[in-house]
Structure 1
Amino acid sequence: MRENNGFAGPILHFRGCDAGTLHLAAITIRPDHAPAPGPVQAQAGSVAPVLLAQVAGLSIWRHDFALRAGEAGYRLDGRDYPVATRLDGDIRLAFVSCNGEENGDLDRDGAERNLMWARLQADHARAPFALLLQGGDQIYADEATHGHPLTEDWPKHVPDSPSEADLADLTRHLERRFAQRYMMVLAAEGCADLFATVPSLSVWDDHDICDGWGSLPESRTNSSVGQALFGVARRMYLLFQHGATDADVPGLFMDPAGRNLGWRRDLPGVTLWAPDLRSERRRDRIMGPGGWNAVEALHPSGDHVFMVSSVPLLGPRLSLVESLLMAIPRMQHYEDDLRDQWQSHAHRAEWRRMLGHVLRMREKAPVTVLSGEIHLATRAEMGPESTRIHQLVASGISHRAPPKAYARALGLFAGLGEAPLAGHPIAIKPLPGQRHRYVAERNYLTLDRGNGRWQAVWHLEESGLTPPLDLD
């Protein structure tokens, strides 16, 4: 993987839009000894950077600025960066998830790892994207715990009473490891230009913390070591995926207290929102008061609603698989993976609750759920045509696909169907142009609005582009 030497950016983050103005934040990352970036230059004027944070030998600088609709972009340190600044009318969005792998991600060949990113970048050059939606597992931090005595055996073993000095040393270790992974992603060839010209909106999932966070035994996650891990992961998520610190939380997320980091943004004719399914997660719940209060208070506007659910909201009868595997001692190590799903026995009441809120939103406008997590491409529909909900799953922008036999077996199982709400059955369906319900290829998704109508296209590593799917 190419060395970044401690430099990355600019990386754009979408803050919102109003009255023909696009509000952005751009972070630039440099070694502590390097000079600060220059000002951002745009039609509205020149904006100096502020030092957002210093962590792991890196200084993270932020420019907060605005671009007017129709403006070509911005200029920074002698380079022009084009940005799609018109968000009304015809626009394009891109959706990705699962940008990495659990083991050895730092050692992968960059061209192989980022093949689909390069295609996304070429797609953007052909027809620019207005936003990049990132649906979880933007980094795979599972190996960040390696190399420190307090977490070498995480999560199998956790020390009972580590000293404050040892915990402080662990925090510094984790900060270095997390920063290394974020820098590898943000400065990667084939990705960096995209991040500099397309504003991102991101929601996190377990690998942005550690595999199975929140579904692990609470003796692990509630321990001082577990809380140190979560604290570092949260800080890094805010910095690198939102260009933010705790001081920015009330203005960026639906829960001003920051217990839950779900967000909502509105574009002309569109509401985008993402519940945070990790911050408040426990083995017996997916969200706590912060998350549920935000969902209950959410009333979308516009002609279409896009919900980003890091774990698929519409899925097959995984509770049946859960029951079968829990009866087989050798298979019980899969329990955490199954607990991660909305369809788990432990979360069925919450699943129905969320589906009820999605149907409430469907009364006002069509709703499309965007999801990742499963390293496969698929889609689903819920309910009769009059209240139909679409779900589009694009998972594995860089994570290599599982065996095709696994996808076929899962597709057969999905044929059993599921109906958690009476009168609103869920059906897992093949992608347009595909025979099977699940496609085992790396992929990303594009969403196009033309003449007021939305269409979705999957970009598959081997099979190419799917025919467009209408999202009425």
Structure 2
Amino acid sequence: MVDEAQQPQRAGPILHFRGVAGQGVRLAAIVIRPRHEPPPPPIRLPGAEIAPRRIAEIAQAAVWRHDFTLTPAQGGYEFEGRFHPVAADLTGDLRLAFVSCNGEESGDMDRDGDERNLMWRRLARDHAQAPFALLLQGGDQIYADEATQGHPLSADWPQRTVPADDPAALADLAEHLRRRFVARYLHVLAAPGYAAMAAQVPMLSVWDDHDICDGWGSLPQEQTDSPVGQVLFGVARETYLLFQHGAVESDIPDLFLDPTGASLTWKRELPGLTVAAPDLRSERGRHRIMGPAGWRAVKTLAPQGEQVFLVSSVPLLGPRLSLLERAMMVVPRMQHYEDDLRDQWQSRTHRAEWQRMLAQVLEWRARADVTALSGEIHLATRAVMGPDAQKLHQLVASGISHRAPPQAYARALGLFAGLGEAPLPGHPIRILPLPGQRHRYVAQRNYLALARRDGRWQAAWHLEESGETPALDLSA
């Protein structure tokens, strides 16, 4: 077993996309070093040096940030004697990558690195051949489920909640969790393939449950609202901001639609393209997916581009889960899967909220093409919601490093999806095979490439065994 205390306190540079600035892009590059070391060197651009600023110290690590604007003519930046090319021209033809589920629930830090990061190395090779301008991360960038182990207040979380009202004990728990969350982030950020992408491709990320703990928000409220649960959420949020956005609390009004930070919903406008991600975790409970701040952010999202990519950490379009939920509730051995089903938009508990979200998306669809990007299910699939005049595409790429479930599971889910679903009258949802595939769900590790060519968007999945799929025209 990996000794987390011996994990290196080094990673970076890691690029975060801030927005468009004239003909260039605004970027933040974070570098993590042991807290006792001097600051890292400046980032060098033609005619300029960008000194780092220390934005945080956490678990014996210091996080430094370089904020700068890069133009296409500059082509990239130099750090520690190495030039990193960056695709800074966001006009015309454009390539984006989408990934999710970068880890596993148990033993992820003990896995063989070559096996774990296989698809990351493929993605890095793909980028070297045809550069990506953005890396979109759709949730579960780390699997923090084991972070609660090893401390008396959280060792049995979430099966058993220990009463805790001692401020010193809770502060000790917070430091324990910070060490373990940071170890998991550094394990990911320094991995071959990922590190190469992170230094050259600016990222935008949304979180999901494993970035906190399995099923966060769908667990009983007495667990998530307990002092231990709130310390866990606070540390997860702190490290999510730091490592997935290169940000601290004071940056929230500049980066997210809700300046209070109750919801971490974000939006970025690129030439001809809006990329947005509602926060489906910060306000989640067993009876809601988003709270008041999240819905206010969604209402003010107002996409401007001709194409909208909406990152939904759990699939926005899916099969009729309410039937499966009813069946599971009468089978005692299956009742422990209830939290997994309640986590989905399609849960019978969330149906009214799901309909509300779909109606909002259709308002955007009246002004632009909308494609939902989702992960979470450890399978690759796609869906459409019709009719053709208002067609909404959904592309699911899930499992960049999480191993795929059995083929039998994918086949059974595909049969279930054949029942169909229509939460909004006149807008049936259909789960469809990927281009070149026979079945609705593909049980292989995968990532998604999105490309704009001559003003038209296409998508192709890269599957671990089957390779790249034929392109799917998102304008069709």
Shorter chain as denominator, the TM-score bin is over 0.9
Give the whole-Å Cα distance in 1 for the aligned partners of 2:128 and 2:7.
23
Aligned equivalent of 1:213, options 213, 216, 220: 216
Aligned equivalent of 1:181, options 184, 195, 203: 184
Give the whole-Å Cα distance in 2 for the aligned partners of 1:91 and 1:298.
23
Task: Tell whether 2:124 aligns with 1:121.
Answer: yes
Would you say the 8 A contact 1:141–1:178 is kept in 2? yes
Give the whole-Å Cα distance in 2 for the aligned partners of 1:240 and 1:421.
38
Gaps of 5+ in 2: none
Deviations 1:311-363 (A, max 9, x none): 00000001110111012222111111011000111110110000001000000
Gaps of 5+ in 1: none
Q: Which residue is equivalent to 1:398? A: 401
Give the whole-Å Cα distance in 2 for the aligned partners of 1:45 and 1:285.
49
Aligned equivalent of 1:223, options 219, 223, 226: 226
Q: Which residue is equivalent to 1:52? A: 55
Alignment of 1:127-166 (within 5 A): 127-166=130-169
Displacement of 1:44: 6.0
Q: Which residue is equivalent to 1:411? A: 414
Give the whole-Å Cα distance in 1 for the aligned partners of 2:59 and 2:305.
42
Task: Tell whether 2:185 aligns with 1:201.
Answer: no
Would you say the 8 A contact 1:44–1:66 is kept in 2? no
Deviations 1:13-64 (A, max 9, x none): 0000032120000000000111211111123621110001000000000000
Give the whole-Å Cα distance in 2 for the aligned partners of 1:306 and 1:319.
27
The count of corresponding residues between Structure 1 and Structure 2 is 472
Letter paired with 2:125: A
Give the whole-Å Cα distance in 1 for the aligned partners of 2:176 and 2:14.
25
SS of 1:192's partner is helix
Taking structure 1 as the reference length, the TM-score comes to: 0.99
Give the whole-Å Cα distance in 2 for the aligned partners of 1:18 and 1:241.
21
Q: Which residue is equivalent to 1:388? A: 391
The runs of 4+ residues in structure 1 deviating greater than 3 Å are 1-4
Deviations 1:109-152 (A, max 9, x none): 00000000000000000000000000000000000000011011
Would you say the 8 A contact 2:7–2:183 is kept in 1? no
Give the whole-Å Cα distance in 2 for the aligned partners of 1:366 and 1:70.
31
Q: Which residue is equivalent to 1:431? A: 434
Displacement of 1:161: 3.0
Q: Which residue is equivalent to 2:74? A: 71
Task: Tell whether 2:21 aligns with 1:15.
Answer: no
Give the whole-Å Cα distance in 1 for the aligned partners of 2:451 and 2:59.
39
Identity, % of aligned positions: 67
Aligned equivalent of 1:458, options 445, 457, 461: 461
Letter paired with 1:386: A
Task: Tell whether 2:421 aligns with 1:421.
Answer: no
SS of 1:306's partner is strand
Task: Tell whether 2:71 aligns with 1:90.
Answer: no
Q: Which residue is equivalent to 2:303? A: 300
- Indicate the larger mover: 384-393 or 158-167: 158-167
Task: Tell whether 2:281 aligns with 1:278.
Answer: yes
- In structure 2, relative to structure 1, the CA distance for the partners of 1:308 and 1:221 (3 Å cut) is same
Task: Tell whether 2:315 aligns with 1:312.
Answer: yes
Task: Tell whether 2:345 aligns with 1:342.
Answer: yes
Give the whole-Å Cα distance in 2 for the aligned partners of 1:380 and 1:293.
27
Would you say the 8 A contact 2:21–2:69 is kept in 1? no
Give the whole-Å Cα distance in 1 for the aligned partners of 2:322 and 2:151.
37
Q: Which residue is equivalent to 2:41? A: 38
Give the whole-Å Cα distance in 2 for the aligned partners of 1:71 and 1:351.
45
Deviations 1:83-127 (A, max 9, x none): 001000001000000000000000000000000000000000000
Give the whole-Å Cα distance in 2 for the aligned partners of 1:382 and 1:246.
38
Give the whole-Å Cα distance in 1 for the aligned partners of 2:40 and 2:61.
13
- Indicate the larger mover: 257-266 or 41-50: 41-50
Would you say the 8 A contact 1:384–1:424 is kept in 2? yes
Displacement of 1:4: 6.0
- Indicate the larger mover: 42-51 or 454-463: 42-51
- Indicate the larger mover: 40-49 or 260-269: 40-49
Task: Tell whether 2:230 aligns with 1:237.
Answer: no
Task: Tell whether 2:370 aligns with 1:367.
Answer: yes
